[in-house]
A and B are shown apart, each in its own frame.
Chain A
Amino acid sequence: MKTDSLNWVLAVALGFAATACGSASEGAGGTGGTAGTRGAGGTGTVREAMGYVIADFGFLHPEMDPTDFGMEGVRGFDLDATVSTGDTPPCAHDDFVAPDGTPGIDYGLWSFIRQFEPMQKNQLIDSVISSAVKNGEMSIVMELGGVDDMLNDDEVTVQIFSTQGSPLVGTDGNVLPNGTLPVHPDTKYHSKIATGAIEEGVLVAGPFDVGLKFFIQIVDSEMLLTDSWIRLTLGDDTASGVLSGHWSVAQIDEIIGTPTTENGNAAGFNYTEFLAAMEAADAGYDEESGECTSFTTIFRLEAVTAFLTD
């Protein structure tokens, strides 16, 4: 099923206009650029911007696609604006190179991820995170604002939210487009609004801080990525790409490392090895302690269109 993106924008705009004018309409959208009307028992105002729900999410595994993400072609960001090497203090680390040859791509967490089997592609943690965005344990929605042209637009915005809703999942196990999801009522889980542009169908925006709420199995926590950037390739009713930012060592420890049972972490980590690996943090230098307090991180994401409500 394909949605005409421009019609979609028009549809939402019409719905917004109706709402803004005090109409009883709570709905918006509809294929063909039309606005429908929700009856009694309203479930929130439909937000005006283009909505997406994250359909797949997880750590970027550089080896997962040698063409796009090979070790010599990590499609991330140069977060520290420095082409770093392993002997460049503080927080010395080797950078990656983007597929187009751009150096300085930061992904310090990869040195950590590669050491632990449960974090490898399709292993326990990768699978759990991938499932969590589909089953409501860590559902994420995203909004693109100011989009006049899906191919080239020099001023757009991006905002990411947690949602307490669960995406609709189809018979193929994938998230369905055009579901309706509320943004999280707690603005703590609304990212800052990132500004950016679309160039030849690729949106880049940042920096912004992204706070995500999740309750995965027994882990009830949140994740904060600071100074993040996002890059999305926009399709008719899809968006895919990466979200890269800084993730604090303390939060990673709390979420992934801390033993949750008497026998250790549910993922089977050896905590001593875990702590040792955390020494490789590549960002967030704290002058007072002399420690690097965060990892640069890249998450891959795929999204499909959705209606977002307040």
Chain B
Amino acid sequence: MAASLFAVVAGCAVAVGCGGGDTSTSRDAPATEGGPVALRRLTSQQYTQSIHDVLGEDIVVPSRLEPDARLEGLLGVGASFVSVTPSGFEKYEAAATAIAEQALGSELRGAILSCEPSSASGADDSCASEFIATIGRRLFRRTLAEDEISMRVAIAASSATELGDFYAGLELALTSLLVSPNFLFRVEEVEPDPADESRLRLTSTSVATRLSYLIWNSTPDDELLDAAENGELLNPGNLTAQASRLLDSPKAEAGIRAFFSDLLTFRRIDEGLVRKSPTEFPAFTLTLAGDAKEQTLRTIVDHLVTNELDFRDLYTTRSTFLTPSLGSVYAVPFRGEWGPYEFAEDGPRAGLLSHVSLMAITAHPGRSSATLRGKFVREILLCQTIPDPPANVDFSIVENTDGELRTARERLGEHVTNDACAGCHQLMDPIGLAFENFDAIGAYRTQENGVDIDASGNLDGQSYNDAIGMGQALRDHESLGPCMTSNLYRYAVGRSPVSGEQALLAFLDDRFAASGYRWGSLIGALVLSDGFLTASGQREAEEAAQ
């Protein structure tokens, strides 16, 4: 993926000479000012990934953490607006204790402890200090201050003496690191931009953290922290080099998975919230649900990262990955472990929206839902707003699948005779009806209640006959690319765009389009943008003072 990013940077350097000692963050991008920074609480996935990166993959991270919050369609945005409740703190403390116990247990501590204590049965301030400074830097995403270290060395020493066990003392010190706000929250700090004192920019370490959680969904490694603490990330060339390194790392897959899991609401699958009637849809097992999510994520990674293809083609591609349980629902032969699969050219499936995952998420437990599916496309993929339904809507017509109205098209047609419903349903239903050939778990069907399904429709002027055509119409929709740019931007900065950032988003989308909608180009343009690197704290402070 880094190749695409380099292309962006090369173009940038030729055009405006943005390398070398230039510390300005705006090149041919429109000059803008990023929005406010925030304390961004680690999502549970980021918490787990960070623990694994710092303390080892073998650590079993307790699953009971403070629940994440989805705001404006993204957990990545919600993280900027949440705190830790008293009960949540108890969960973090319990998790920290369990993690520290594992990390410093006899089996795993060798991997993270670089020094040998002078005595295993007592305190060793030197070794404890080295451990706390090294591990703490990764957890806090910056070098610890002296007092942050010495306080924890004291904890480790007194506990080790009391308990007669160096490692037990160190466990308490590690626990204190893990329950610190400096770990649980990504603290974004700003400083005046030397090139324009009226502007604020993120500090180099804050840029490192943004970059790392955007691309890896995890804490920065030592090399990135070294670069950050040397101030190197304030230089676009160095920033590009680090971003390219991160994108080239195997850990980058976790980053893109995290973003799309967030955007496509896959957390609902993880949390068991996508449920189906066990009698009507016995194929929807836990295994299938997990495989369905994984299928879509593998398809995305393969398409965007491995093959660096046009992002829009995700909605038309027939290339995917299957397991036997998925093969059963798709009614295609498939044996063995995960493997690539190409849906047939003349078959009914193409694109992510024909996957079990998205068809199941956008359906009810016992039946499909053209409305939910249309809403999903409008809101999440096209960034359009659909108002909530009026409180007094009578849903009985659409819910009665055993009545005289045999198909969803017939039922929804009756439903929209209600003027209060018609406005929104006319936006959603034609899209969702295109997917009526897929039932509530995404299995293909040609009829509903013995009546042939009509999946034809029109998406903002482009007609189609079925889900394949709908996917093509979506792929060609003018809002698809800009919406993805906006979604990724919001995910990266943890907030919705503020006034003045629309021009930047348009620029980023132009870059995305000019690259043929290559993912690496979008990432590259985004991380070099003012929106990613600057903040509006000064302006807000001034506004507040007035």
Contacting pair B341 A30 (CB below 8 A): no
Tell me, yes or no, whether A165 is within 8 Å of chain B by CB.
Answer: yes
Partner of A34 from the list B282, B333, B339, B347 (CB cut-off 8 Å) is B347
Is A4 in the interface zone, CB < 8 Å from B? Answer: yes
Task: Give the chain A neighbours of B330 by CB distance below 8 A.
Answer: 30-31, 178
The size bracket of the interface on A is 35 or more
Q: CB of B439 within 8 A of chain A?
A: yes
* Bound CA span A46–B446, Å: 25
Residue-by-residue, is A1-16 near B (CB-CB < 8 Å gives 1, otherwise 0)? 1111000100000010
Q: A165 — which chain B residues lie within 8 A by C-beta?
A: 335
Which size bracket describes the interface of B in this complex?
35 or more
Is the CB–CB distance between B325 and A1 below 8 Å? no
Known: A41-B336, A176-B282; 20 extra A-B contacts, CB below 8 A, are: A1-B283, A1-B331, A4-B446, A27-B334, A31-B444, A32-B348, A34-B343, A34-B347, A38-B341, A39-B339, A39-B342, A43-B334, A170-B278, A174-B282, A178-B330, A178-B332, A180-B324, A180-B335, A307-B334, A309-B335
Q: Do most interface residues of chain B lie in helix, strand or loop, or is the interface mixed? A: loop
Please report the C-alpha to C-alpha distance between residue A299 and residue B414 in the assembled complex, in whole angstroms.
51
Provide the residues of chain A in CB contact with B339, threshold 8 Å: 38-41, 43
B282 touches A38 (CB 8 A): no
Once A31-B444, A179-B328 are accepted as A-B contacts, the answer to whether A37 and B333 lie under 8 Å apart by CB is no
Q: Is the CB of A309 within 8 A of B446?
A: no
- Pair B324/A35 contact, Cβ less than 8 Å: no
Answer yes or no: B346 CB below 8 A from chain A CBs.
yes
Complex Cα distance, B226 from A25, in Å, reads 50
Q: B110: CB under 8 A from chain A? A: no
B344 neighbours in A (Cβ, 8 Å): 30, 34-37
* Contacting residues of chain B (213-252) with chain A, CB-CB under 8 angstroms: none
**Contact assessment for A36 and B335 in the assembled complex, using a CB-CB cutoff below 8 Å:** no
C-alpha spacing A29/B331, complex, angstroms: 7
Q: Mask for A280-310, Cβ within 8 A of B = 1, else 0?
A: 0000000000000000000000000001010
Q: Which residues of A contact B532 (CB under 8 A)?
A: none
The reply to whether the CB of A196 lies closer than 8 angstroms to some CB of chain B is no
Please report B residues at the A interface, Cβ cutoff 8 Å. Answer: 278-279, 281-285, 324-325, 327-337, 339-348, 439, 443-446
Nearest B residue (CB) for A33: B346
Contact A179 to B324, CB < 8 A, known contacts A36-B347, A43-B335: yes
A141 to chain B, nearest CB (A): 13
In the complex, the answer to whether A177 meets B278 with C-beta atoms within 8 Å is no
Say yes or no: A43 contacts B336, CB within 8 Å.
yes
Closest to A179 in B: B328
A36 touches B332 (CB 8 A): yes
The answer to whether B341 and A27 touch across the interface, beta carbons within 8 angstroms, is yes
**Chain A residues within an 8 Å CB radius of B281:** 171
CA distance A33 to B332 in the complex (A): 10
Chain B residue nearest to A38 in the complex (CB):
B341
Shortest Cβ gap from A254 to chain B (Å): 32
Residue A232 interfacial (CB < 8 Å): no
* Cross-chain contact of B331 among A37, A168, A178 (Cβ < 8 A): A178
CB distance from A167 to the nearest CB of B (A): 9
Please name all residues of chain A whose beta carbon is closer than 8 Å to the beta carbon of B284 when the two chains form the complex.
170-171
Contacts of B444 in A (CB 8 A): 31-32
Nearest-Cβ distance from residue B453 to partner chain A, whole angstroms? 12
Given known pairs A36-B343, A37-B341, the reply for A27 and B328 (CB within 8 Å) is no
Residues on B with C-beta less than 8 A from A171 are 278, 281-285
Partner of B278, one of A40, A43, A172, A180: A172
Q: State how many angstroms separate the Cβ of A24 from the closest Cβ of chain B.
A: 10
Q: How far is the CA of A181 from the CA of B333 in the complex (A)?
A: 9
Q: Does A182 contact B (CB under 8 A)?
A: yes
Chain A residue with the shortest CB-CB distance to B348: A32
Complex Cα distance, B325 from A100, in Å, reads: 41
* A44 CB–B CB distance under 8 Å: yes
Known: A171-B285, A178-B331, A309-B333. A30 touches B347 (CB 8 A): yes
B340 and A39: CB pair below 8 A?
yes
CA distance A172 to B280 in the complex (A): 9
List, sorted by A's number, 10 A–B pairs whose CB atoms are closer than 8 Å: A1-B439, A27-B334, A30-B332, A30-B343, A31-B444, A36-B344, A43-B339, A168-B325, A171-B285, A179-B328
Scan residues 152-169 of chain A and give those whose CB is less than 8 A from a CB of chain B: 165, 168-169
A28 interface contact, C-beta 8 A: yes
